[in-house]
Structure 1
């Protein structure tokens, strides 16, 4: 059985990773040189895969000099959960021996008393907890843990925190944010990579002069992968698995999905899966239908979550209207007042349903846009005569 060379849904493997040479080099250079880095882009554009690739390369090339930690904050709903997870992952990464983990637990904390539990498989069943009242009072001990270990062992740390904007939902968030910045900015042996998919929240955290993390480090705005890169990637992956797709059809896949990493990989996978061994336009058309059908429940939920005037605003955007507050456009699409339009634009932007490009708005999700056009304007998913030259 030949495994598909295209990946989506999780961070992609090294074989499915494409392009990003410039971004890989920049992030890797930053982290190796102790430069804190923030990565901002919409969902599913490849942030996590980029970070995973860079961290993997650093771990392989400098196993003794650097220790790396990657934590996803998506499920961590409080300061206390964040701090316990942070401490556990740092201690686990500090050594490959669980005996040392226990020793660190006793040696490194002066004001906190850690509770350490080991299961039958210590490497995968290692838990660390604290009294939460003490944890809130002495959180600096946790936040300084990699710096303390770094000084003790003569190593550097790279700490990567995914969905970093989620800390804004913690109780007493503003003071916690100030504490994070105050502690982290003094560290000499730790570089932080902070990234998240809520672009407007991330931009507010790192670009707002009134916020603690303003100018915390280098900010990378992750672009889409270029169309020609996708063409080369798709055709080569087909060839490597003894299947064939023309450059024109590979380009069509990228064009249909507007170079969106997740969806290009997904549409390429469905097309590859049905190619016998030559991929045709019919394969692509059927693959696109399969992709949209697979995601339809999410799109239905999306439109159910917006108000009538927000839905009407999406209709105006998908029809290419640019003067959204003109009397004519507001009347045709029943958008309400200019104030309603402005408010709804902000809501749709913050929800990452649309984004602004060159003073115009477009859907962030290209497959959702195709579904939306079909649903509300009966436009076909696939134009058989469409040229991609």
Structure 2
């Protein structure tokens, strides 16, 4: 029997958990032309949320086409333009013949090189000469608006891991071009989302940046515990197994409502349960997750400096004022400048998150292992 829990890839359909309110906000905003920036730590389910919300919107509104673009692996400005154009063409066309027609029609100024592979439904790519891209940046960025007007449709462009573009060599130039072009679009909305909170905030909430006030910023919260409990109990029941609400709540609490880990721990528990879940089974499954990730945790800590490890130890001990004289002396954190620099590094490494409640571990299982290993 297939597991009713999903991790490692997008949770869709029956494996997607609630988020009714967030889906409605995304659908309302983007259909109404309000650009939306969605921010959350990695593996909290933002990509699944965007996909689920947009698939619902396309089912409800037949005048909507949605373009999904993941820029995590983009390494140059030219690669971004080519990937962007290709994704927009594919999202707004129904078959490879139309892809070719639209490419020639809407990008004729660039003399695009079109490649069709053995599977024309997936192996389709567009290539441009570098000098053509430089001369036609506005034409490429304006492509979705041009198609939307010509075809009488609304287009929503969803770009995942948007903050990754900030690492490109010519990002400042690209950033200015994107904003200056996209702000004039009347038939296209943009959903830009990413997992590096500090970078996303810098891009979209800094008055000195082009994307300042480009639209609404949404910070994705964790899924409510009771929503998880209901989902877990129902999933076990539908597959002929039993778990009480109390034990389902323990699963959620053990991983601090972290979406990835709730699904993973639930899967492990489900896999080793024959009929009814017990606390011993949950503990065994949780230890399996710790053991599975142990080499990664060890490698992560080995890559840190002593002062960075000491900051984690201080935070694990619930210290809040890391630049206080007593705390810096007790944990050997160095100078206030060193503390500030190391906090930024630990955020960039996705180990810590700066929240209104202070600095917190992003990974609850890593936090459990770290405390067990380093806190005496």
TM-score band, normalised by shorter chain: over 0.9
2:319 to 310, 318, 321: 321
1:345 to 343, 347, 360: 343
Equivalent-residue separation in structure 2 for 1:82 and 1:216 (angstroms): 20
Stretch moving more, 285-294 or 340-349: 340-349
Matches within 5 A, 1:28-107: 28-63=27-62, 65-107=63-105
**What is the deviation of 1:110?**
4.5
Equivalent-residue separation in structure 2 for 1:22 and 1:125 (angstroms): 37
Equivalent-residue separation in structure 1 for 2:355 and 2:65 (angstroms): 39
2:156 to 139, 155, 158: 158
1:139 to 134, 137, 140: 137
Equivalent-residue separation in structure 1 for 2:231 and 2:368 (angstroms): 24
Find out whether 1:10 has 2:18 as its counterpart. Answer: no
**What is the deviation of 1:359?**
4.3
Equivalent-residue separation in structure 1 for 2:187 and 2:72 (angstroms): 26
**What is the deviation of 1:332?**
2.1
- For 1:39, what is the secondary structure of its paired residue? strand
Name the Cα RMSD after superposition.
1.3
Residue number in structure 1 paired with 2:291: 293
- Judging changes above 3 Å, is the alpha-carbon distance between structure 1 residues 235 and 359 closer, same or farther for their aligned structure 2 residues? closer
Equivalent-residue separation in structure 2 for 1:263 and 1:245 (angstroms): 18
**What is the deviation of 1:140?**
1.2
Residue number in structure 2 paired with 1:117: 115
- For 1:92, what is the secondary structure of its paired residue? helix
Q: Which runs of 4+ in 1 moved over 4 A?
A: none
Find out whether 1:26 has 2:25 as its counterpart. Answer: yes
Residue number in structure 1 paired with 2:355: 357
**What is the deviation of 1:358?**
3.6
- If the length of structure 1 is used for normalisation, what is the TM-score? 0.94
Unaligned runs of 5+ in 2: none
Q: Deviations over 1:273-313 (max 9, x none)?
A: 11121111110011001111111222122212221101011
**What is the deviation of 1:76?**
1.2
Residue number in structure 1 paired with 2:277: 279
**What is the deviation of 1:33?**
0.9
- If the length of structure 2 is used for normalisation, what is the TM-score? 0.97
Stretch moving more, 93-102 or 136-145: 93-102
Equivalent-residue separation in structure 1 for 2:28 and 2:102 (angstroms): 30
Stretch moving more, 85-94 or 206-215: 85-94
Equivalent-residue separation in structure 1 for 2:254 and 2:368 (angstroms): 9
Q: Deviations over 1:211-266 (max 9, x none)?
A: 00000011110001111211111111111111111111111111110111111111
Find out whether 1:268 has 2:278 as its counterpart. Answer: no
Equivalent-residue separation in structure 2 for 1:302 and 1:212 (angstroms): 35
**Count of aligned pairs:** 376
